[in-house]
Amino acid sequence: MTDIDDISDTLGIPWETSKDQPFGPTTTYIGFVWDLQERTVKLSQGKADKYLKSITEWQSRPTHLLEDAQKLYGKLLHTASLIPAGRAYLTGLECMMAVCSEKPFMPHRPDKAIGDELTWWQRAIENGMAIRSIFPPPPHTDHQAFSDASSSIGIGVIIGEQWRAWRLVPRWQTLEGKRDIAWAEAVGFEFLLLALSSSINSPQHVTVYGDNTSIIESWRVGRHRNKLVNEVFKRIHTFLASQSTNVISVHAAFVPSERNPADGPSRGIYPPWELLLPPVTVPQHLQRFLIDCTAPLTPAELRALQEGRYSIPATKLIDRARREQEVNECILYSQCRDNFVIGELLAEERSA
């Protein structure tokens, strides 16, 4: 190290000698500890303590300036290089910086969502999640898994030749807040991963396909600017980090709508029923918005159909489903009636 310093002095290159590190398999650079033997990179303990202190200081004050938000955001964005899922927990600070930029020297009260996101960051750093492998990227397995959503009907997924679909309830866009097609596409992406995890027998890195560029491109950076869509991304990150999934990581790829086989199921055009995927457990907080395609039409759906609150293609598809439902109900009624009559005749015969 002395030889390097002597040459640098001759060349006029200044070095901060307090940052000199001896050559070895482990070194600290930009606040990360690089371990060439274990092939990992993690947040140094000094940086971890510093960032946790910054979060604690933020939480202790009711208001903040633009500079406060920028400094904390920069620290956490740096850490997100090691925790890609953390990018979904930075949107609150991003929104606050946009608001504060108009009056940078006026104290602003942060949104409650920021507090929840900082609590997540605090736990992640304390639990040692800020570590990442620097092995070469693993190969991704292509199971021909596709998802799609239609605002007029619902959500469909395809894995190989098998499929599953869910109907969106009438007026889903304004139920418990304002939702749009991007939210439905994100939920379709989530359901595809749930179905895929149950379909494969071993942990894998997978490739999935969709035709919504907003969802595909946002997933590649780990977060979405739409708050409700970002909440879906958070659930997916949590699912991928759990021990109960066979999906380790996901590469999302774009496919044009005309080549997306999930387009049909999302619009109510269903493949043969014998190719149905096993049921996917719909999270409780989503059960108000979605109905499995195998379930009968609800009173709300029938009422929406009668009031003409479906688009023309949706009306045709749902009306066809309703006719099929009525036929099945008639068949069931006839069977029950016949069984009742037979029972009455047998009872009379026994009494005689």
Question: Which residues 6+ apart lie within 8 Å of 248 measured at CB?
Answer: 138, 203, 204, 205, 240
194 part of a folded domain: yes
End residue of a domain, out of 74, 102, 133: 133
* Claim to verify: residue 166 and residue 238 sit in the same structural domain: yes
* Claim to verify: residue 171 and residue 281 sit in the same structural domain: yes
End residue of a domain, out of 81, 102, 133: 133
* Claim to verify: residue 178 and residue 220 sit in the same structural domain: yes
352 part of a folded domain: no
Percent of the chain past pLDDT 90, that is, above it, reads 67
In the prediction, which pLDDT does 70 show?
97
- Total domains present in the chain: 3
* Claim to verify: residue 318 and residue 281 sit in the same structural domain: no
In this predicted structure, the answer to whether residue 325 has a pLDDT above a threshold of 90 is: no
* Claim to verify: residue 314 and residue 188 sit in the same structural domain: no
175 part of a folded domain: yes
* Claim to verify: residue 69 and residue 185 sit in the same structural domain: no
Which residues does residue 253 pair with via DSSP β-bridges, in sequence order?
209
Total residue length of the chain: 352
47: confidence class by pLDDT, cuts 50, 70, 90: very high
81: confidence class by pLDDT, cuts 50, 70, 90: very high
The stretch 249-274 carries a mean pLDDT of: 93
* Claim to verify: residue 11 and residue 129 sit in the same structural domain: yes
* Model pLDDT for residues 148-179, shown as the tens digit of each residue: 999 888 999 999 999 999 999 988 999 888 89
52 part of a folded domain: yes
- Which 3 state secondary structure label does DSSP give 144? strand
End residue of a domain, out of 133, 160, 177: 133
Q: Is the pTM of this model over 0.85?
A: no
* Claim to verify: residue 279 and residue 163 sit in the same structural domain: yes
The overall average pLDDT reported for the chain is: 88
The stretch 71-79 carries a mean pLDDT of: 97
Q: Helix 299-306 vs helix 312-351: angle between axes, to the nearest 10 degrees?
A: 130
In this predicted structure, the answer to whether residue 142 has a pLDDT above a threshold of 60 is: yes
344 part of a folded domain: no
CATH number, position 180 = 3.30.420.10
Query: Whole domain around residue 310: which residue ranges?
Result: 299-336
* Claim to verify: residue 67 and residue 93 sit in the same structural domain: yes
13 part of a folded domain: yes
302: confidence class by pLDDT, cuts 50, 70, 90: confident
In the prediction, which pLDDT does 343 show?
55
* Claim to verify: residue 170 and residue 256 sit in the same structural domain: yes
118 part of a folded domain: yes
Task: List Cα–Cα distances, 239 to 123, 198, 219, in angstroms.
Answer: 17, 13, 14
* Claim to verify: residue 272 and residue 312 sit in the same structural domain: no
- Comparing 52 with 301, which gets the higher pLDDT? 52
* Claim to verify: residue 102 and residue 202 sit in the same structural domain: no
105 part of a folded domain: yes
The stretch 184-201 carries a mean pLDDT of: 95
